[in-house]
Copies of this chain bind each other. A is one copy, B any other.
């Protein structure tokens, strides 16, 4: 192995051997899933060994009657979803690229999606993990057990750690019975204030919507629809749909048609001006309108077209700056203002995409110094040579990190 090489292990034991060799030879490494992440978490400088986990593509076990599956890191989420569906079950984690993205990447980023509002992020569906820890030890933590408080929650620590604390090779996943159906309700929302009011009305409906999404006028128009709009989905029955209709004043929509064009929104927005920068800031729900209005203001100041859509019920906005293909730097500068706004509103710079390189260094603006220090101490103690996905998820700008 040399820097710049891509290796494709065929088993967890082979991943452990790669990490052992990298650790012995002080070679940095970058784990690679499907490569669908938005935060540049799988980007390489050419100096690392890329560990392509696509060869770990076996479903090791599937017990539909026990609501569980053990899947290797390279299994596509769509495979998990399909197997569940074919057996009357449900795996509700559906990030934007669910067709392509892998179990390992979804664990590494703690992936979300529209149905996170009711069902939680990836972590909520992981019972246990198999992972390689530095300097090359294959461990299993948890397993097909639904409750376990014996050790510190290393499963959660690895979920969302973006390959900087270990490399996930397999996950035991929890499944649930399929919901009764999908009954989306669509309502118009004149502006950001009306949108936030609509979200709060949905929360007061007595129903937990399975998704509570929104699109602003620009992103709706990109998809050939009229916006801005609020989408509240019920999945428990028609009585839930009726409660949502009454709460938000909307009308039922065809679920298959709705989710088909909704999933294409990111690409449709990209086509508006040829390129876009799309973030995933997240704020308390009662700050949603301020975030949306502030995002529009930032875009205006930078001479960019704003578009926004996403997971309104979670306060999680894909705040986007449309730009010409050659104009990425301006969008990057606008994104910095957006991150600062999200933090000012008591929110987070990332609700579901992660830090990667895209937001590296920003955590120290969001967290108090002692929490940043705890994160850095954990990184140093679990990856003492700093070889696991270097530079990713960094809490402080490179160069400012205190030495160990």
Interface positions of A (Cβ within 8 A of B): 63, 65-67, 88, 109-110, 112, 116-117, 120-121, 123-124, 133, 137-141, 143-154, 156-157, 159-161, 165, 176-178, 200, 203-208, 236-237, 282-286, 311, 313-316, 346-355, 359, 362-363, 366-372, 374-375, 377-382, 393, 395
Contacts and interface: CB of A to CB of B under 8 A. Distances in A.
Given A157-B157, A368-B139, A151 B363 contact: yes
* A-B pairs, 9 with minimum CB distance: A156-B156, A137-B370, A147-B351, A148-B348, A144-B284, A377-B381, A146-B314, A153-B156, A139-B371
Q: Most chain-B Cβ atoms within 10 A of its Cβ — which of A145, A165, A377?
A: A145
A206 B347 CA distance: 37
Contact of A151 (B123, B143, B152, B395): B395
A237 B239 CA distance: 11
Q: Copies per complex?
A: 2
Contacts of A380: 381
B137 A152 contact: no
B156 A348 contact: no
B110 A151 contact: no
Contacts of A200: 65-66
Interface centre among A63, A150, A363 (most CB of B within 10 A): A150
A316 B149 CA distance: 12
A393 B236 CA distance: 41
Contacts of A145: 282-284, 315, 346-348, 351
Contacts of A351: 145, 147-149
Contact of A348 (B150, B152, B206, B378): B150
B377 A382 contact: yes
A123 B124 CA distance: 10
A96 to B, nearest CB: 14
Contact of A208 (B176, B313, B370): B176
B154 A160 contact: no
A284 B346 contact: no
A314 to B, nearest CB: 4
A398 to B, nearest CB: 17
A352 to B, nearest CB: 6
A375 B378 CA distance: 10
Contacts of A165: 152
A402 to B, nearest CB: 13
A65 B378 CA distance: 37
A311 B145 CA distance: 12
A155 to B, nearest CB: 8
A176 to B, nearest CB: 6
